[in-house]
Amino acid sequence: MLLSGGSRISHHLRECDLHFHLSCRFRFYSSQIVLLSFPSPLNASWPCIEKQTRMSSSSSSSSSSSSCYAGIPSESPREIPPFFYSFSQQEDDQEIISDGLSPIAGGVVALGKFDALHIGHRELAIQASRAGPPFLLSLSGMAEVLGWEQRAPIVAKCDRKRVLSSWAPYCCKTVPKEFQVEFSKVRHLSPREFVEKLSRELRVRGVVAGENYRFGYKAAGDASDLVKLCDEYGMEAYIIKSVMDKYQNSATLNTSNPKERGQVSSTRVRQALAVGDMRYVSELLGRPHRIVLMATDSERFSVGDYKVSASKSCLMNLAPKEGLYEKCYLILDQENVVQCRVVIDTNFVHVEMGGLGLSDNFRTQHFQFLQIEFAGSSS
Q: What confidence tens digit (pLDDT) does each residue in 62-88 have? A: 332 347 876 655 554 434 344 444 444
> Do 204 and 97 sit in the same domain of this protein?
yes
**Per-residue 3-state assignment (H helix, E strand, C coil) for 111-168:** ECCCCCCCHHHHHHHHHHHHHCCEEEEEEECHHHHHCCCCCCCCCCHHHHHHHHHHCC
Q: What is the arithmetic mean of pLDDT over 89-112? A: 69
Instruction: Evaluate whether residue 334 is within a structural domain.
Output: yes
Give the full edge-to-edge strand order of the sheet including 336-344: 289-294, 369-374, 323-333, 336-344, 348-352, 307-311, 302-303
Looking at the structure, do residues 106 and 248 belong to the same domain, yes or no? yes
**Confidence at 332, pLDDT banded by 50, 70, 90:** confident
The pLDDT score that the predictor gives to residue 47 is: 32
Using the 3D structure, point to which of 252, 278, 312 is the last residue of a domain. Answer: 252
278 occurs within a structural domain: no
135: in domain: yes
What pLDDT is attached to residue 281? 96
Tell me the residue type at 63. Answer: S
More confident residue, 201 or 256: 201
The predicted-structure confidence for 205-220, as pLDDT tens digits, reads as follows: 999 999 999 999 999 9
Picking from 224, 252, 280, the residue at the C-terminal end of a domain is 252
User: CA of 162: how far to CAs of 126, 148, 190, 288, in Å?
Assistant: 17, 28, 35, 13
Position 309 pLDDT exceeds 70:
yes
* Residue 197 confidence (pLDDT) above 50: yes
Residues 175 and 310 in one domain: no
Same-domain pairing of 235 and 311: no
For residues 11 and 29, is the Cβ–Cβ distance under 8 A?
Answer: no
What is the largest distance, in Å, between two alpha-carbon atoms of the chain? Answer: 76
Of 71-75, 236-240, 349-353, give the lowest mean pLDDT range. 71-75
Q: Which pTM was predicted?
A: 0.76
Q: Which of 252, 275, 308 is a domain's end point?
A: 252
What CATH number is associated with residue 229? Answer: 3.40.50.620
> Distance between CA atoms of 167 and 301, rounded to whole angstroms?
32
116 and 220 both lie in a single domain: yes
Given this model, what pLDDT does residue 101 score? 75
In a domain, residue 14? The reply is no
Residue 237 sits in the same domain as residue 101: yes
Per-residue pLDDT, 195: 98
- Looking at residue 115, its pLDDT comes to 95
Instruction: Please indicate, yes or no, if residue 126 is contained in any of the structural domains.
Output: yes
User: Does residue 48 lie within any of the structural domains?
Assistant: no
Among candidates 36, 31, 30, which has minimal Cα distance to 10?
A: 36
> Mean pLDDT throughout 195-207?
97
Confidence grade of residue 92 (pLDDT, cut at 50, 70, 90):
very low
Q: Quote the number of domains for the chain.
A: 2
| pLDDT band with cut points at 50, 70 and 90 for residue 6 | very low
CATH number of domain containing 354: 2.40.30
Range of the domain at 325: 289-374
Lowest mean pLDDT among 151-155, 170-174, 358-362: 358-362
> Does the residue 41 lie in any domain?
no
218: Cβ contacts below 8 Å, ≥ 6 apart: none
What's the pLDDT at 173? 96
At 259 the pLDDT is: 63
Q: Are residues 298 and 152 in the same domain?
A: no
Residue 264 lies in a domain: no
Q: How far apart are CA 274 and CA 280, in angstroms?
A: 12
Average pLDDT over the chain reads: 77
The reply to whether 311 and 359 lie within a common domain is: yes
What is d(CA 291, CA 276) in angstroms, rounded to the nearest whole number?
13
Q: Based on the domain organization, do 245 and 139 belong to the same domain? A: yes
**Are 136 and 195 within one domain?**
yes
Contact at 8 Å (CB) between 52 and 62? yes
Tell me: do 229 and 298 sit in the same domain: no
pLDDT tens sequence across 106-135: 999 999 999 999 999 999 999 999 999 999
- Regarding whether 98 and 233 lie in a shared domain, the answer is yes
